[in-house]
Amino acid sequence: MKLIIFDCDGTLVDGQHLILDAMGSACVACEVPYPGDEAVRQIVGLSLMDAIEICHPQENQKTHLALKDAFISRFQELRQRDEDQEPLYDGVRDMLEKLHGDGFILGVATGKSRRGLTNTLKNHGLGDFFMTLNTADDGPGKPHPSMLINAMNEVGAEPENTVMIGDTTFDIHMALAAKVAAIGVSWGYHDRGKLIGAGAHHILDHISHIRQGLNETIL
C-alpha cells in the first residue's frame, strides 16, 4: 500500500489571495502593522495561531487572539463570494485522477481548518480522491509529524511506503520527522533553495512530473 499525502495551499490550490486579504483586514481591524505580502506567504501552511505569532512577535496574546478572530471573520466572508479565489494549479485534477486510478491511497495534510479544507475540496469536486484528511483542527500543526502519523495509522501505510508532497519547509520538516519521503514543489510559497535546504528528497517543477519524483522515493 502506497500513500501519497498532499499539502493544500501552495500545492493543490493557490490560496494566497484569500490569506493575504484576510491577514491585511485583520491587521487593520486590530490596528497593528501589516507585515507585508511576502512575510505572510512564508507562513502559509502553519496553523493560524502559529502563523499570527510569527508574523506579529511584538504583540501580546490578547492581540494575537483578536487577530485570529478578525482573520477568520474576514476569511469566511470572502469564502461566501461566488468567484473562485482558490484556483487549482494547472494539471492537479488530471494528476489526482491518474494516481487514484493507479491504486495509490491519497490524503491531505494542511494547516487549514477542517471546515476550510472541506469547502475547498467541495468547491473543486476533489473530495472523492482522498481517503485521509488531516487539518489544523486535528492536533499539532506543521512541522510536527502528528498529521502524517495519523494518516498512516488511518489507512494502514508504513513510512517507507509514504510520501509527503508540499511547497513549504514546514512540509519537508514534517515529512522528515515522520520518517517518510519528502517531495517539494517549486510553484508554491517557499522557493526551491529553501526546500532543498530543508532536506527535500526531490523537487517537482510541474505536477505532471510526479511519477519521476515517486520513482526516486517510494516506488
Q: How far apart are CA 36 and CA 140, in angstroms?
A: 26
Catalytic status, residue 21: no
| 93-108: burial string, b at 16+ Cβ within 10 Å, e else | bebbeebbeeebbbbb
Average pLDDT, the chain: 93
CA 186 to CA 206: how far, in whole Å? 8
Grid coordinates representing 32? 497593528
Range in 14-18, 23-27, 90-94 the model is least confident about: 14-18
Sign of CA dihedral 157, 169, 198, 139: negative
Q: Enter the C-alpha cell of residue 45.
A: 501552511
Quick one: three-class SS letters along 11-73? CCECCHHHHHHHHHHHHHHHCCCCCCHHHHHCCECECHHHHHHHHCCCCCHHHHHHHHHHHHH
167 assigned to active site: no
Q: Is the pLDDT of residue 1 over 90?
A: no
Catalytic residue, chosen from 7, 50, 167, 171, is 7
Q: Check if the beta carbon of residue 177 is closer than 8 Å to that of residue 144.
A: yes
CB 182 within 8 A of CB 199: yes
- Closest among 174, 192, 11 to 91, alpha carbons compared: 11
| Residue 194: Cβ within 10 Å count | 16
Tens of pLDDT along 150-201?
A: 999 999 999 999 999 999 999 999 999 999 999 999 999 999 999 999 999 9
Q: Give the pLDDT confidence score for residue 83 in this predicted structure.
A: 54
pLDDT digits (tens, 9 = 90+) for 117-130: 998 999 899 999 99
Spatial separation of the C-alpha atoms in residues 210 and 181, rounded to whole Å? 13
Give the three cell numbers for residue 36. 507585508
Q: Over range 127-144, report the average pLDDT.
A: 94
Computed from CA positions of residues 33, 38, 39, 41, in that sequence, does the dihedral angle turn out positive or negative?
positive
Predicted confidence (pLDDT) per residue in 55-93, tens digit: 999 999 999 999 999 999 998 888 777 555 789 999 999
Q: What are 106's three cell numbers?
A: 491519497
